[in-house]
Amino acid sequence: MAEHCGHARYVWNLAVEQHSHWRPGRKSAPGFAEQCRQLTEARAEFAWLRSGSIVVQQQALKDFTQAMANFFGETHKRPTWRRRGQGEGFRIVAVKAGDVRRLSRNVGEIRVPKVGRVRFRWSRAIPEGVKSYRVTRDSAGRWFVAFAAIPESLPTPGTGVVVGVDRGVAVSVALSNGEMTSAPTLRETEKARLLRLVRKLARARKGSRRRGEVKAAIARLRARETDRRKDWVEKTSTGLARRFDVIGVEDLKVKNMTRSAKGTVETPGRNVRQKAGLNRGILAAGWGRLVERLEHKAPGRVVKVNPRFTSQTCNACAHIAKENRESQADFLCVACGHQANADVNAARNIRDIAAGHAVNARGGDRVAGPVKREPQHDLLLVG
């Protein structure tokens, strides 16, 4: 399976290289069909590539095509080089009946081309009629199998309640009803241990056995943190989808937010240091993943609103001013004196805009422009 990972990485990196040569005015870089043809040629020529699975190699190209589509759709960053030991994995398609079997309550089995049958821990429900699965290996060396399935949408509570969700700075998520939660991180003792390990790594000789052990221990700690975050995203998105009819979120593109801080060589970004800190927080909160899961679990009930001014507008009197934001955490309106948690105030603005969108959608007119800020009486707002 490590060999499959290596082949997938190799083919992916070739695709990255092909596309990196493209400049405006040049003929477009090869698409999926052309890349598949080239792969067939390469396999005919090189025995080591031919010895691998064509399904694995073609799917790496398919994944790359999808990654480029996501990039042009502005939802993801441009696909980059894959390195050994980071995000390793491959996808299996053309799954036949019997390729996925349950052996007992806790044990299942999948078929992996050129490898045979591989057992896995049956830790959650697997959907009927699986068409593909992805095998991955995390940096801690654990192997996983994931079955492509969009989670079933959750039932609408039917109460007409609209909630605004803001990704906070101090907290990961603030709701318009005042609830605030943060994605879990490592515990203090774990953080201290991580710090000790990082120092140890700096002292360890390159290529030594000890260095390898320290590296693995660091990877295990980081994997633990990632697991907790993913779990938090699932629970939070399920809770929101179950409790609220309409969920307003900022239409922020993680990519744009994370890119702006650095600026360019000609116009270096201002406040680079503060922004870098903020960006880390945003990424750590797994915001993009949360919105994605919300859209799966509450399809058609997630309203993405333009985040412009949502953090500077007073929710009580609609006065907009930069000075309204006293600090990262506090909001104090310079016009009416309204005081609130800054993230909650922003969440309420998001809720009001989302409620406006929902009413307009119900009335049959799709209004894309500025939205009325008056409260909408036929929808119950939270907070």
Binding region for Zn ion (CB under 5 A): 314, 316-317, 319, 333, 335-336, 338
To the nearest whole angstrom, how small is the minimum distance from the Cβ of residue 307 to Zn ion? Answer: 19
17 is catalytic: no
CA 147 to centroid of chain Cα atoms: 17
CB of 250 to Zn ion, least distance (A): 21
Question: C-beta of 345: minimal distance to Zn ion in Å?
Answer: 10
Catalytic residue among 88, 225, 245, 343: 343
Bridge-based pairing state of the strands 380-381 and 161-166: parallel
Catalytic pick from 138, 166, 245, 295?
A: 166
Burial level of 291, CB count in 10 A (0-12/13-18/19+)? buried
Please, which residue, 228 or 319, has the CB nearer to Zn ion? 319
Helix (H, G, I), strand (E, B) or coil at 159: coil
How many angstroms separate the CA atoms of 139 and 120, rounded? 18
Catalytic (active site) residue 365 = no
Of 91 and 348, which CB lies nearer to Zn ion in the complex structure?
Answer: 348
Residue 122: which residues within 8 A CB-CB, separation 6 or more? 102, 104, 105, 106, 107, 108
CA end-to-end span of the chain? 51
Catalytic residue among 88, 250, 295, 352: 250
User: CB of residue 340 vs Zn ion: minimum separation in angstroms?
Assistant: 10
Residues in Cβ contact with 46 at an 8 Å cutoff, skipping those fewer than 6 apart: none
CB of 302 or CB of 350, closer to Zn ion: 350
Residue 204 and residue 348: Cα distance in Å, rounded? Answer: 51
Nearer to Zn ion by C-beta: 260 or 327? 327
3-class DSSP state of 199: helix
Q: Which residues are catalytic?
A: 166, 250, 343
